[in-house]
Structure 1
Amino acid sequence: MRLIQLIDDSGVARTGAVDADGGSVRLLSGFDSTYALASAAIAAGQPLQALASAALGEQRLDYAQALAQGRVLSPLAHPDPAHCRVTGTGLTHLGSAAARDAMHQNLQQQASSGTLTDSMKMFQAGVEGGIPAAGQAGAQPEWFYKGDGSIMVAPGAPLPSPDFALDGGEEPELVGLYLIGPDGTPYRLGFAIGNEFSDHVTERQNYLLLAHSKLRACAVGPELRTGELPRDLQGSSRIRRGGEVIWEKPFVTGEANMCHSLANLEYHHFKYAAHRRPGDVHLHFFGTATLSFADGVRAEPGDCFEIDLPALGAPLRNPLARVPGGFEPGTVRPL
């Protein structure tokens, strides 16, 4: 099932299910948010899809029109943005079989010469131990924090890049959407397309600046796909400038293209008690191997990022906007 959140024709927030052909959205009765729907499913001990199916009403809205009018929201949010954690893992993807072979050869060469970087050591640990047996913990991935729910922008909305940023570039990724149950159990609602927007120039200066480069806005959606995923997911990432595509590249994700299992990445995120606070929402980015920045592309304000992963529904589109940082040196005051 493909769930979305949107504003209906009367201006009220609703939850809906996208029809199989993608042409219309069938609204759910009794639930004004995916958060409320998921909370009810946990309380009732029912699968999310089963409860959503039982709540389907007869009212339908035109999906393309809702997207064009900017009425589609992120597919999961917390009523209090401070209780939504946006995080991610890196160095998780292999790309393709050919690239995988090349990576292994490069690792062996660097290891024998003693020049293996910290990043490559982390990647190698994932290749060797990121897919453990069921019920076992594997290698720890690179992990980062992006912010709380206030950094999320809706599908179609501008991605704000602060004026102190050195770059603003897309990262097409798979995102896991979670709600922590009353007993501290993490429940995965499903998956969505994500643009884990980052400052790659800052990151390139020194890998210890990675944390700074990730504290940016991001976008998820427009749809939440329930259930298990295909192991091999194939899509395209592109940038449009003035209506023309200036860069486009296929990207792959899913466990067939990763050196970590999703279960291992989930374990290393939720093993921390602070990440299992009842009622909290988590949006977790699983990484990518495809960036326009790596091809020498610099996005400009007005450019539109478009991430298309057909297995997860409609593409995620967001233009880039330059905005004031809103804080000047020397502004902190002693009390």
Structure 2
Amino acid sequence: MWVGILHFLFLTNPLAKIVRHKIAETVVPTIVGLYFLILDVWGDEFDFIKDNLEDHKKVFFILVSFTVALLFYRGVGDFLDSKRIDDMLKLFSSLFFSIENIIGVKKSRFSETIATLDSVDDTFERITHPKKQIKAIISQANRHFVEILQLKRDAFDFTIMRKNPITDDWYYLLSDKAWQHTEPSILLEQNSSAAHCLRTGEKLFLPDKKFAAKNGEYYLSERDKRNDCLGSVFCKSYNIKTPTGKEQFIVTITTYGVSLCGRHDRRVIDSVESMLGEFALRIELELILFSLKEWLRTQKEIQEAAKEAEKKARKEAKQRQNTKNV
């Protein structure tokens, strides 16, 4: 919270942008220097200076004080900006390491499975495990949040909601935490981030839940209220087409009691959103594989049911024929 306030005071508010502009950096010291030069060199020659020397001293003192304050203000801003850059470099370095580990988990499973294949019939079923891979992604994201962002393990959560293609009811396909979550039906009926993403099909990152709730963009859960409504949320919906329809999912990454960044610094917001988007992108790939496996499983069940029905029909026809012959 305090970091966000400091960034706003020294980096992102309109005054800070003016002070940190190259023109201000050049013009203000130049004016003070020229004024001092005029007083020092031509002070005894011009009547308007000699006759008002005390006033000019006061003006010069004010200009010098203003310049010192300006340089101090800019110095604090430069320090915060350099620290922010260092934090972003550390953040993305950790992100790349996490992604490398995510890919490594999948690569290891593929390599181990390929070495033990003895037929081609169940190759896809054996080699792809979307839920396991999603859990591996969430595990790496947990490490990223805990080690780099210094968050407690219960300060964030990942959830994936799925729409049942048969009943059209939404349910939680996966969740990082075992605690009670707000029912999907309630979320999608309210002004929630999930409802917004489902309606627009766009991703959404809200750095400040409390502010977003006031603007009708977020639904505050009981857990949010127990954490003073502090936190950030990233949400994205997915519509994955299959040969016979589509699968729908909503991925949500949320923090409780602490925000990932302030809502004033656009560069930091974009960086954090990009980081969360990388994890969501890896999850999306697994959801595509999950959808394909579900479609194949359904088609297999339909084929088996058709075979059973055909077998039963032949058996009944044979029984009728035998009865007729008797």
Q: TM-score range by the shorter chain?
A: under 0.3
Which structure features the higher share of strand residues? Answer: 1
Normalised by the size of structure 2, how large is the TM-score?
Answer: 0.22
Which structure features the higher share of helix residues? Answer: 2
Normalised by the size of structure 1, how large is the TM-score?
Answer: 0.22
